[in-house]
Structure 1
C-alpha cells in the first residue's frame, strides 16, 4: 500500500454481492462529504452554468435584433420559444440515452451539441437561420441539466442531500445572472454575436468531464453491471478516503434495495405509486417555469419596447431581476432540508402568485411597477424552479430516474414556450391580464402540491422510490 493510500474500512456483510443495489446504496450512504464530491459538483456545475447562460442569451440579444432585423412581436416570441422546443426534444432524447448508455455519456453528448450550436448562432444572418440554430442548440440544453441533476442525486447520501444538490443547482441561477451581466457590458460594446461566442466555452471541458467522472454506480447496478458498479464505487470510495484522510465508516445496517431494471419503462411513470407523483411534479414544473422564463426572457424587451427605455437601462433592470431571483434560489438551497420540499414549493408558488396579482392591480403603468413586483415574483419563482431539480430525481427509482426527470422537464419546456408566446399574444390586450393568468397558474399549482405532494427530505433514494 502506498503512503498516499488511505485504507477503506471493510463493508458490513450484506445479503447482496458487491455492486448490487443494496451494496451500492449502503456504501454511498456511509460516505462523508469531501473534496471529491465538491469537485464533481463544480465540474458538472460548470456545464450547467453555461446551459443557463446559453438559454438566456437570447433575452440579451433581442433588444438589438428586434430593431436590426425589424422583428414583429410574433417573431420575437417565436425566437424565444423555439429554443425551448429544442429543449423539450432534447430532454426526451437524452434521458433515454442516459438510461441506456449512462449518465456521463449523455452529459458529454449534450454539451457537445449546445456548445457547438452556440458557435453557429454567432453566424446567424437572419431570423430563419437563428431559429434553426437555436432549435438545435436547445436539444443539447434540454438534456444536460436534468441528467446532471440525476447524476448528482445518485452520488449523494440522504442526509443533507437537499442542501448539497441545490448548492450545485445554484450555478444555474449564477448562469442566469451572468447572462445579464455579460449582456449588459458585451452587447452594446462588442455586438450581439459575442454573447453566443461566450456560450461555446464548455467545448473546452468535455475531455475532462469524460475522463474524470466515473459512471453512476447506482445506474450501473440498476442495469445489472455489478462488477462495473463495484469498480466505480470503489473508485469513489478511494477518492473520498484520500480526501478525508481517514478510513470510511461501515455501511448502515439496513439500506432498502430497489427493484431490478428488467421490464421497466416509461410506462411505469403512470402506474402506482408513481402516477400521482408524476402528475404533481409535472404541475410544479409547468407552473414554476411559466413564471420564471416568462418574466426573465421578456422583461428586457418589455422595458425597451413598451416603456421606451434606453437599451442600457432595459438590460440593467433585467439584470436586477436576475439578481433578485438568485437570492431566492440561494435561500431555497440553504433552507430546504429544514423546511421540507412541500413547504418550500407552497411558499414559492404562493408568493409568486401574490406578487403577480399585486403587479396586475398596480396597472403596470410604470417600469418601476414591473421592476418591483416582477422581481418579487421572480424571487419566488426562482426558488421553485431550482427546488424541483432536487425533488424530481427523489421521486423515481434508478431504473427510470432519468426518464422520469427528462419527461418532467418536458413540461418546463412547454411552459417556457407558452410563457413568451402568451405574453406576445396578449400584450395588445394589456399587461395586467397576462400577469393575472400567470398568478392563477402559480396559485393553483401551490394548492396541488400541498394536497398531493410527497415529502422526501432526509430519505434514502431507494426508500423513497422502491
Structure 2
C-alpha cells in the first residue's frame, strides 16, 4: 500500500501545480479559454498520470477470486452491536456519497457558465458553436462506464480498495476547473465521471455487508438520502462561489473534499463478508474483532450456498435475478431521465423562462432544503418495508412529474407553486436513488453484489446519457413538460412490474435473502 500513498501524493501535487494559472486569470474573471498551458500545468499533468498509475499498481495486490469461502460464522456480523467502527464507517461513507453525487450534480450548474466562456450553443445562445450539452454527455457517459467498471473492481480487488482508487480520481480530476481548452475540459470531465460513477455502488455494497441486518436497511437509505444534501451543497456553492470564482470553482473543490475522503477511509476496514467469501480467513478475523463480532469457526461456511452463483455480469440477467434486475433497470433508467433530463436542465430552463442565475439556483436550493427532512421518513418506511417503499416512492415521483406534464412552462409564473412542485422531483428522485442503491445492494449475492450495485448505479445514469444525446442531436434543451413525461413513463412501468417480482428484504440476513432466491429457480452455469 506504500506505493498507493506515494501515488496519491503525486496526484495531489500535480493538481496543486495547476492552480497558479487559475489564479493568474482572476483579473479576467477566471476566464481561461484559449490560454496556453504553462510549464507548471504540463508538469502537473505528468505527475497526475504517473500518480494514478502508481495507485493502480499499489492496489493490484488486492485482486482476488471467489473460491472456497472461509469457515467462519457469517451470522456474527449481524449479531454484533453498533459500535465505534460502525459509526466511523457510516460517517466516512456519508461523506463519500456526498462527494460522489456532487460531481455529476455540479454539471447542471457548470453548463451555463461553461457555455458562455466557450461560446457554445445553448437555449440562451442558439447561434453559438458546438452544443453545450456535450459536456454533461461525456461526463454522464463516464459515470455509466465507471459504475460498471467499479462494480467489477469491487468484486475483484475488494470494496475498500476500489473506493480508494475512486477517491484519488476525484482529486486528480478536480483540474477540470483549470483546463484552458474546450477539448481538454471534455476529456477531464469524462475521466471525472469514471471515478464518480464508481464510488456510490461500492459504498453501498460495503455498507450492506457490514451493518447488522436489523439496522441495515434504514441506515443505508439514510446515508443515501445525503444525495439530496449534495444537491443542497452544490446549489449553495453555485450561488455563493461562482459569481466570484466562476463556474470553475465547482470542479476545484474536488481537491480538498477528495483529500479528506482518502485520508479518512484509511481507518475503514474491508468488508468482512467479502474477505470470508474470497477465503481470506486471517484478515476476516481481524476485521470481525474490530466490529466486536464473535469469531466462531465452523465445519461448513454459511456462504457455501453462494458458490453456485457465477462471478460475472451475465449472472444478473439470469434467473432468479432477472426479474429483479428488470425492475431496478426500469426504475434506474426512469430516475436517470429525471435527474439528468428534468433536473439537469432546470437551471437553464428557469433562466430561459425569466429567472436570473442566482434566482434559479436559489429556487432549486430551497426546493432541496424543503424535501431534505423527508429523507428521515423514507428511511423509517424502508425499515418497515423495503418492497413497499420502493414501489410507493417510485409511484409518487411518477405522479408528480405528471403535474409538470399538465402545467408545462406556465408553472414558472407562480414561484410558490413552482417551488412546491419541485420538491418531489428533486427530493423524491434522490430518495429513489437512495432506496434503489440500498435495495440493489441487498438482493444480490456476495459474489456479484458489487457488480449488481454497479449495474443499478449505471442504469440511474444511462437514462441521462440517452436524453442528453438527444439534446446534442437536436441542439436544443427539452422543456419542463418533455423531460417530465420522459421520466414518468418508465417509472410507471416499473411500479407495475415491481408488484409481481419485488421481494421483501426487511431485517433479513443477506445470506437468507440469497438462499430464498436460489431456492426459487436454478442457476445457469
TM-score w.r.t. structure 1 length? 0.86
* Structure 2 contact 131–475 (Cα < 8 Å) conserved: no
Aligned match of 2:457: 409
Aligned match of 1:354: 399
The answer on 1:97 being equivalent to 2:153 is: yes
Aligned match of 1:281: 328
CA shift at 1:185, angstroms? 0.4
Aligned match for 1:317, one of 363, 372, 380 = 363
Aligned match for 2:512, one of 452, 463, 466 = 463
**How far apart in 2 are the matches of 1:296 and 1:361?**
18
CA shift at 1:151, angstroms? 0.4
**How far apart in 1 are the matches of 2:493 and 2:456?**
18
Aligned match of 2:484: 435
The answer on 1:112 being equivalent to 2:160 is: no
Aligned match of 2:43: none
**How far apart in 1 are the matches of 2:235 and 2:493?**
30
**How far apart in 2 are the matches of 1:211 and 1:353?**
41
Aligned match of 1:66: 115
Aligned match for 1:385, one of 420, 433, 436 = 433
**How far apart in 2 are the matches of 1:455 and 1:327?**
25
SS at 1:23 equivalent: coil
Moved more, 294-303 or 421-430: 421-430
The answer on 1:343 being equivalent to 2:388 is: yes
Trace 1:136-147 onto structure 2 (pairs within 5 A): 136-147=191-202
CA shift at 1:399, angstroms? 1.0
* Structure 2 contact 85–290 (Cα < 8 Å) conserved: no
Structure 1 unaligned spans of 5+: 1-18, 241-247
**How far apart in 1 are the matches of 2:366 and 2:469?**
23
Write the deviation string for residues 100-131 of structure 1: whole angstroms up to 9, x where unpaired: 1111110000111122102x111122432211
**How far apart in 2 are the matches of 1:190 and 1:430?**
30
Write the deviation string for residues 306-357 of structure 1: whole angstroms up to 9, x where unpaired: 213211111111212332443443431232111x122122222211121221
SS at 2:279 equivalent: coil
Trace 1:3-402 onto structure 2 (pairs within 5 A): 23-73=72-122, 75-118=131-174, 120-205=175-260, 208-237=263-292, 257=303, 258-260=305-307, 264-304=311-351, 306-338=352-384, 340-367=385-412, 368=415, 370-402=418-450
**How far apart in 2 are the matches of 1:427 and 1:328?**
34
* Structure 1 contact 295–374 (Cα < 8 Å) conserved: no
**How far apart in 2 are the matches of 1:271 and 1:366?**
45
**How far apart in 2 are the matches of 1:430 and 1:235?**
52
* Structure 1 contact 102–219 (Cα < 8 Å) conserved: yes
SS at 1:363 equivalent: helix
Structure 2 unaligned spans of 5+: 1-67, 123-129, 516-525
